Amino acid sequence: MQIEAVFLDRDGTLNVERADYVKSHAEFVLLPGALAALRQLSLLGIPVIVVTNQSAIGRGLVARATVDAIHAYLADLCRHSGGRIDAFYICPHRPDEACGCRKPRPGLFNQAADDFGLDLRRCVFVGDSVSDWQAAQAACCRPILVRTGRQGAQLADLLAQHQADLPLVDDIGAAAACIQQYYVANELALADCVPV
């Protein structure tokens, strides 16, 4: 089946993840190869969508307008590199708020699916954590995990504990190459699940 869209996590996947949160442009540092990967994904001609938990907003550490400005900056960098990001979906809530949009819940994916007319079973999600894998499962997307986040070194062991068999690659560049192979080969299998 043809891939309809690529979803991307932000922190740990596209940029360096900080334990104290990204709260300004100065703290937003792209990972090596991120812009080239975004360009490669953009060339597929399908939506490229960022879905990100930003609890620093709910914790009062950063304003929503600042996060939006950081995303505008990222989108601008991407455009100047020949790529694009079609949309950003943000959960601003703290984990204890039990909202429906905080990954691993599928709310952000469902919103994007409605906005773009997507079948989530025909979408890929690239993330860097077990909760990203769980989010992909909840949304019925095909997951690919990268080792560039805080869980990177332990990710293979964590996935083994969950008996998860999925692509685990070094970085977003390797993930983009994997997605391009799926796209060109037209071999993305539909998951046996119904999106929540």
Catalytic residue list:
9, 11
Pair of tokens at residue 189: 């299998």
Kindly give the residue spans of alpha helices, DSSP state H, lying in 97-171. Answer: 107-116, 130-139, 155-161
Torsions phi, psi for 155 (to 5 deg): -60, -45
Torsions phi, psi for 195 (to 5 deg): -55, 140
Residue 8: count other Cβ atoms within 10 Å of its Cβ.
27
Dihedral sign (CA 191, 2, 80, 173) = positive
Pair of tokens at residue 7: 């979803």
